[in-house]
Structure 1
Amino acid sequence: MVESLNSVLGAMSSFVWGPWLLIPLLLGTGLFLTFRLSGIQFRTLGRAMRHAFVDNDRESGEGDISNYQALTTALAATVGTGNIVGVATAISIGGPGALFWVWFTGLVGMASKYTEAYLGVRFRTTDANGEQAGGPQEYLRRGIPGPTGQILAFSFTVFAVIASFGIGNLTQGNSVAAGMEDTFGVDPWISGIIMFVAVGATLLGGIQAIGKITAAFVPLMIFVYVTGGLIALALMAGEIPAALGLIFTDAFTGTSAAGGFVGAAIMTVVRYGVARGIFSNESGMGSAAIAAAAAKTSHPTRQALVSMTQTFIDTMIVVSITGLVIVTSGVWDQGADHAATMTAAGFSSVLGEQWGGTIVSVSLIFFAFSTIIGWSYYGERSIISLLGQWASLPYRLFFTMVVFIGATTELELAWTFSDLANGLMALPNLIGLLILSGLVARETREYLKFDPKLNRSPEEVRAFVEKQQMDWK
């Protein structure tokens, strides 16, 4: 029965992520928003990075966490197994050219991430506990009048709750336990108990605790992994030009069979590059908008620009390190059966098993654990929107228990189900982004004309908002 269900879910996932539905919608939406926002991800990236990492202590406004903590919470949720195993899977099936489509998806996805974060802040509300509540479940319902908005919001919310237990919990907990067992010989039951306690203690503190924890360790875990990858690439510097040539050539021609790799047609290259790119950075899924809505910020544009940098960091930095090490080291042609160990093999071939394998294994553990923390907040805000404030505590308790189940159970079905839930979650959000894109483009243009360097004081921004008669706080 499990095999039959897995087969059915796999077929459904293949259709949703296939060439006729989600892939063209994701790329099309990202391209459309890139043009509608006048290439905002290219012309404002420098200012956005400065505002995220240098000027973040100057922000003020209603919110539960700083804009930097909102960024690291979103990074915690997205920098996960997709950055290590997901990229390897894309390359092992689609070939080196899949990495190009991961990059392309990330670049256009920055416009999608900006738009959903803007709307998350723009339409946020205050819940019964005095905390900020926002995301697709709010901006689809409040921003799109009539039953269309209600249906889109309800659909997103249901699939977000489901996805929080799949991609945000079961699969990540399993990855942590597997990494602990392979690297340190720790029994999965012990890992499950440790995560049960750690996740439970974090969730008791709510978004404030999540924000503080992710702000502390997310930058460190990314730094360790990226540094290891850069050292490996420096040692293979002579092979990088040929690897880049292979990536760009195969992106448009497909990939011939080589070694254990069976070859891939151009559609396979595109499909797995786009699917794993979205799996990694979540642009267009709407999840990061939930974290953005909790940020203290004086205007939606400011937080949206900060949130946009998350996709750049995730895809253009962390994912690039993984993909380039795999292709440059030559381990990409081992075949799909070796996808789970391909990144470790690439690092180890240059840095040695002791250093290379350990860096990847430890990074995978922390990446997966951070994803659990970030997604716990996404799921909680979604179920509160669906059932009310009373559902918060039961959700936290159940989410914590599921972490233990994920650590101690085989999860082939959960992975298939997670891919499907992610896709179904993105569909209503992408439709909403297209419908509301005019509002975002107009208000963004007006704000950047007023504050092009993002250095206006909160008092000046407040006066601008009042003058514009913008219904936002």
Structure 2
Amino acid sequence: MDFITEFFKGINNFLWGPFMLLFLLGTGIWLTLHLGFIQVRFLGEGFKKTFAPLFKKDQEDGINSFKALATSISAQVGTGNLAGVATAIASGGPGAIFWMWISSFFGMATIFAESVLAQTYKKKQGAQPVGGPAFYIQYGLGSKWLAGFFAIAIIIALGFVGNMVQSNAITVAMNQTLNADSFGVRFLIGSFVAFFVGLILFGGIQRIANFAGNIVPVMALLYIIGSVIIVVLYWDQLLPTLSLIVNAAINPNAAAGGVLGATVKEAVRYGIARGLFSNEAGMGSTPHAHAVAKVKHPAEQGLVAMVGVFIDTVIICTLTALVVIMTDAHKTDLEASAITQEGFARGLGEFGIPFIAVCLLFFAFTTILGWAYFGEVNVRFLFGEKGVPPYRAIVLLFIVVGAIVKVEFVWQVADTFNALMVLPNILALLLLTKVVKRSWKEYRETK
């Protein structure tokens, strides 16, 4: 297992090298300029569009914008916000959070473009509309093979490997809460998660959207409240922590007492990689949820999609980082979600560990549902309805396996396949920029 882990780590050092980071950030900058800094000027309108349909009923040919966003956030808000942030700090130092902020700022323009294209090129599968990168790559770019490559990559990256990450994080958190860790316990936890995922997954997008729409906002609010309480309790550490994050981004020695030997390259690599894993802007996953929304114009859902990145990274990831650094939990020898649990334990006392375990359970659980659905759309794209039953069975199997294997191995494999998803999706965004820009112009002219 260690040999395979090192193998994937070597691949990731190449895939997540300067080219990929420039590719991602460059695309975000490119779209930001072409859209006139849309994430600054129209984020407020995005919030209005998000919550306006809150009490509207879904229609047979789609779901409302809020539930589409809830489904999207259910995929975005997961282990990336808790375990991913902690891992970024542990591997790249506090400066990684600065680069996570940078990636999210430009990522808002990227996810706007993804959602507009998903709406523009969506098709019908039965009574429901579906869309995503595979659709706008094939029907927008006219490249069937590249669409197929993306579809295969996302099935493996999210449906299989990504859900191993979520299952693994749930298991680590539950083990620390129960103070019991063995093969039998891990297998039991993984089996329970797989069972309940199966119950909802077989109900399709409507059941997933309804579950996400009810659970995600409540759990996100509780997590935010818990984090804010700790920040208030450690208020004297707030400004020094923010200063450390910024200084460590360009001067790794500022992280003394934290990650020794962390370089600027590592801060950038882990900040952007974990930021992507968290908010998924540019990855090509969340457009599948936004494509299902019933809206008057594609740009409307693009504005809603920006709100998802803001909530995910600017609010939730930042609060996690503050808790971890302000309580010095990042200086421990713990790993992944256990670091975040330690931070909350120091801030909230004994209540902190079960609090994070419950939050992580629901966050990761809804992410599994969202990612399983995203993969399912692409299974249908490639193989039709006949491919869905075996796909769902394999997803449930990987959930169980993810609960058993080592956490570092899972994260390394996830980073590899995330990169393979990003490449064709970002290429499509660059080549279809004119479509996005034209859609935004049309929308503004009708206002």
Tell me, yes or no, whether TM beats 0.5.
yes
Displacement of 1:197: 2.0
Q: Following superposition of structure 1 onto structure 2, how do residues 47-66 of structure 1 map, counting pairs within 5 Å?
A: 47-57=45-55, 63-66=61-64
Query: 1:413, 1:328 → 2: CA distance?
Result: 28
Letter in 1 for 2:409: L
Match of 1:431 among 427, 434, 437: 427
Q: Following superposition of structure 1 onto structure 2, how do residues 258-297 of structure 1 map, counting pairs within 5 Å?
A: 258-259=256-257, 261-297=259-295
Q: Following superposition of structure 1 onto structure 2, how do residues 348-427 of structure 1 map, counting pairs within 5 Å?
A: 348-352=345-349, 354-410=350-406, 412-427=408-423
Displacement of 1:402: 2.5
- In structure 2, the partner of 1:157 is 151
Query: 1:448, 1:184 → 2: CA distance?
Result: 54
Q: Following superposition of structure 1 onto structure 2, how do residues 69-80 of structure 1 map, counting pairs within 5 Å?
A: 69-80=67-78
Q: Which has the larger radius of gyration?
A: 1
Letter in 2 for 1:143: G
Displacement of 1:7: 2.1
Query: 2:54, 2:429 → 1: CA distance?
Result: 27
Displacement of 1:342: 2.1
Change (3 A) 1:260 1:57: closer
Query: 1:178, 1:330 → 2: CA distance?
Result: 20
- In structure 1, the partner of 2:209 is 211
Displacement of 1:275: 1.0
Change (3 A) 1:63 1:104: farther
Query: 1:394, 1:404 → 2: CA distance?
Result: 16
Displacement of 1:61: 7.4
Change (3 A) 1:134 1:165: closer
Query: 1:338, 1:394 → 2: CA distance?
Result: 34
Task: Assess if the C-alpha contact under 8 Å between 1:167 and 1:419 holds in 2.
Answer: no
Query: 1:170, 1:255 → 2: CA distance?
Result: 34
Change (3 A) 1:389 1:166: closer
- In structure 2, the partner of 1:444 is 440
Q: Following superposition of structure 1 onto structure 2, how do residues 48-197 of structure 1 map, counting pairs within 5 Å?
A: 48-57=46-55, 63-127=61-125, 129-145=126-142, 149-184=143-178, 187-197=185-195
Displacement of 1:302: 0.8
Query: 1:346, 1:185 → 2: CA distance?
Result: 17
Stretches of structure 1 that go unaligned for 5 or more consecutive residues are 452-473
Query: 1:35, 1:62 → 2: CA distance?
Result: 37
Deviations 1:204-241 (A, max 9, x none): 11000000000010111111111100000011112211
Deviations 1:410-454 (A, max 9, x none): 454333211100011011000100110111112202212312xxx
Displacement of 1:4: 2.9
Change (3 A) 1:165 1:125: closer
Letter in 1 for 2:32: T
Task: Assess if the C-alpha contact under 8 Å between 2:172 and 2:338 holds in 1.
Answer: no
Letter in 2 for 1:400: L
- In structure 1, the partner of 2:29 is 31
- In structure 2, the partner of 1:12 is 11
Deviations 1:390-412 (A, max 9, x none): 21222122222322232344454
Letter in 2 for 1:235: L
Task: Assess if the C-alpha contact under 8 Å between 2:176 and 2:338 holds in 1.
Answer: no
Deviations 1:251-271 (A, max 9, x none): 122235633631322222111
| Identity among equivalent pairs (%) | 37
Letter in 2 for 1:384: R
SS of match in other structure, 2:432: helix
Change (3 A) 1:6 1:45: same
Task: Assess if the C-alpha contact under 8 Å between 1:256 and 1:264 holds in 2.
Answer: no
SS of match in other structure, 1:255: helix
- In structure 2, the partner of 1:344 is 341
Q: Following superposition of structure 1 onto structure 2, how do residues 199-238 of structure 1 map, counting pairs within 5 Å?
A: 199-238=197-236
Alignment size in residue pairs: 443
SS of match in other structure, 2:419: helix
Displacement of 1:142: 0.5
Deviations 1:312-366 (A, max 9, x none): 100001001001112222333346x5454222222222221x1222222221222
Letter in 2 for 1:158: I
- In structure 2, the partner of 1:467 is none
Deviations 1:138-171 (A, max 9, x none): 00111113xxx22321221110011124443112
Displacement of 1:66: 1.7
Task: Assess if the C-alpha contact under 8 Å between 2:160 and 2:395 holds in 1.
Answer: no
Query: 2:179, 2:336 → 1: CA distance?
Result: 22
Change (3 A) 1:446 1:78: same
Letter in 2 for 1:281: N
Query: 1:271, 1:228 → 2: CA distance?
Result: 29
Letter in 1 for 2:132: G
| RMSD across aligned positions (CA) | 1.9
